[in-house]
Amino acid sequence: MSKRDEERRRSAFTRRALMLGAGQLGLLGFLGYRLQKLQLQEGERYATLAEENRVSTRLLAPPRGRILDRAGRVVGANELHWRVLLTAEETEDVGATLDTFQHLLPLAEAERARVEREVRRRRRFVPIVVREFLSWEEMARIEVNAPDLPGISVDVGTTRSYPYAEHLAHVIGYVAPPAESDMDEDPLLGLPGIRVGRAGVERFHERTLRGRAGTVEMEVNAVGRVIRELDRREGQRGQEVQVSVDAELQKAVRGRIGEGTSVVVLDARNGEVLAMASQPSFDPNLFSSGISAAQWREWTRSRATPLINKTISGLYAPGSTFKMVVGLAALEAKVLSPADRVPCPGHYDLGDTRFHCWRRTGHGSLDLRQALKQSCDCYFYEAARRTGINRIAAMATRFGLGVDPGIDLPGAKPGLVPTREWRIRQGKPWNIGDTVVHGIGQGFYQLTPLSLATMTARLATGRAVQPHLTHSIDGKLVHGTRAEDWPSLGIPERDLELMREGMWAVVNEAGGTARAAALPAPLGVMAGKTGSVQVRRVTREQRERGYRAEAMPREWRPHALFVAFAPYDTPRYAISVVVEHGLSGAGAAAPLARDVMVDVMNRLRDAPAGPPARLAGQGSPRP
């Protein structure tokens, strides 16, 4: 090899060595840069990530707030219960463990399939619920046989209980497991054993009663198994809700009513609901432990609709209990005066149509007070014709009829008070005959027992009280518990007093339609109004043949209604009663209202009286 070739070879080697060295130096520089960035610039971030992988933060379910009645009795409580858990990693044979368990306690095949499915889906160290709501005897049986049940343990949970069961089911409601859509709203709802309100006060005050979740920080290994607890922050318990209902009064009322009957009792001074009962009902405790498919089918298919609170969602025509509203509308429109008399020959003719009074022989000539006392239909046919349906509807709205009742209870229906425009929107004309028949509370009206009680409370006090159930939250009174929280209706006191006098005469004066509803003398005086509502049209041919409603099948008989307030001089309680197919308000609803009012006054009359209910002083009715 020549010297020149040797130099050329050395020069090429030197260039390669320099390039390789430069590459190695660049690589080392890049690695150094990345190391510096990881340790100095991003070190804190990666340390946090590492800590998060080591520490698992889990939510703690807070205790659900209690529900109390007006006397402080617990009507919605939390109770401890035992449940059986299975940890798969603690047993060599899950199937054998479940076989042994089934020899001790029954386990439905569907439940066993669920447990086996959960074992396959979850990590083996995660406990799985096998059975809940064990009795003391069942829990003891499991504990005694623990050596033969590897992987099985007994755990303590909480369940919602309702001491007054079916008596307050429609008011308090019930809880049930959350739906998947609910869990997106609050991660707390994904915890095992959590229940959410599905009806009644439980649903309306769900956020208040739920509370806020606590947290526990656990150190876990690479596969997620808990090593130890690092920190714990307890959650905030749900707030305590006190309702205005008296549980013992509610129980007494339900003891007096039969199927298809609804009763609402309000504090006339402020609109608080004291009792709200309809039959039939259901046991809300069954929802806490899980109702069977057969039970659910029985409830939902029953014609008696036990799951429905008819006091807020049952819709009925008000019948003659509506006549005070018609009278007030006529007075306000100045189409009738208190002294104006209207003849009643037992029927009212309008063109070639004849409308009948409930008394075939008629009432003779009556003024407004007498027409209320004897519930004369012909008087109010004429009053409605003169007043017009829209004026009547406007007055009804002021008494809380046909509008949202605003009660703190889900499912309350506003009902319907028709107007001329409402009928036209249906593509049909409003005829003068429609107005006439609506003057006695028949026709298209659809009102709830709650709205009728609200109407009565407003008549008694002259205030625009609104029905409500919540009395206090965590001991703090809510707005509306004082009479002065509610404004005046803006109706002249003389007009209201005339309606009250007519209602007083209904119960306390000879010839009144509800003399049987008079209270025992020591309890004072009650004023009220009867009503009966046809559920089927009675034809002229049936009348001529001597129609008798009591001879009809039960489902064809009229509904019976009664509204009242007491004591007359200082109104404190307002009541509405609806007896489905009860024939007559005087015969079925009024005596029941009297008995309930006696219960109310005997149980609650010693409570603080509060401020005067009426806006202006009134004495006893004029003779």
**Range among 170-184, 445-459, 525-539 rated most confident:** 445-459
What is the Cα–Cα distance from 561 to 412, expressed in whole angstroms? 20
Please give the single-letter amino acid code of residue 8. R
Residue 190's pLDDT band (cuts 50, 70, 90):
low
- Between 276 and 614, the higher pLDDT residue: 276
195-244 pLDDT per residue, tens: 889 999 999 999 999 988 777 676 666 555 556 666 677 778 899 999 99
CB 357 within 8 A of CB 348: yes
Mean pLDDT across 605-613: 47
Please tell me what DSSP assigns to residue 589.
I
Mean pLDDT across 140-152: 89
**Range among 144-148, 499-503, 581-585, 618-622 rated most confident:** 499-503
* Lookup: tokens for 3: 């010297």
Mean pLDDT across 456-474: 96
> Mean pLDDT over all residues of the chain?
86
Predicted pLDDT at 610? 35
Please give the model's pTM, rounded to 2 decimal places. 0.82
Mean pLDDT across 250-260: 95
Mean pLDDT across 353-375: 94
Q: Strand 559-566's sheet: what is its strand order?
A: 273-278, 261-267, 573-579, 559-566, 527-533
* Lookup: tokens for 513: 């339609």
615 pLDDT above the threshold of 50: no
Predicted pLDDT at 222? 56
- Sequence-distant (≥ 6) Cβ neighbours of residue 39 within 8 angstroms: none
Active-site hit among 244, 281, 313, 320: 320
What is the Cα–Cα distance from 507 to 530, expressed in whole angstroms? 9
Helix (H, G, I), strand (E, B) or coil at 233: strand
117 pLDDT above the threshold of 90: no
C-alpha Rg value of the chain to the nearest Å: 36
**Range among 34-48, 101-115, 250-264 rated most confident:** 250-264
Up-side HSE of residue 55: CA atoms within 13 Å toward CB?
14
Active site residue 281: no
Please tell me what DSSP assigns to residue 215.
E
Find the length of the chain. Answer: 623
- Between 39 and 312, the higher pLDDT residue: 312
Predicted pLDDT at 613? 42
Residue 619's pLDDT band (cuts 50, 70, 90):
very low
Residue 363 burial by Cβ neighbours in a 10 Å radius (0-12, 13-18, 19+): buried
Predicted pLDDT at 555? 74
- Sequence-distant (≥ 6) Cβ neighbours of residue 616 within 8 angstroms: 462, 493
Predicted pLDDT at 236? 83
Residue 542's pLDDT band (cuts 50, 70, 90):
low
Please report, for the chain, how many H helices and E strands are present, in that order: 23, 21
Predicted pLDDT at 110? 83
Mean pLDDT across 37-46: 59
Residue 63's pLDDT band (cuts 50, 70, 90):
confident
CB 532 within 8 A of CB 561: yes
365-422 pLDDT per residue, tens: 999 999 999 999 999 999 999 999 999 999 999 999 999 999 999 999 999 999 999 9
Structural domains present in the chain = 50-73+163-243 (3.90.1310.10), 79-158 (3.30.1390), 247-280+310-340+350-604 (3.40.710.10)
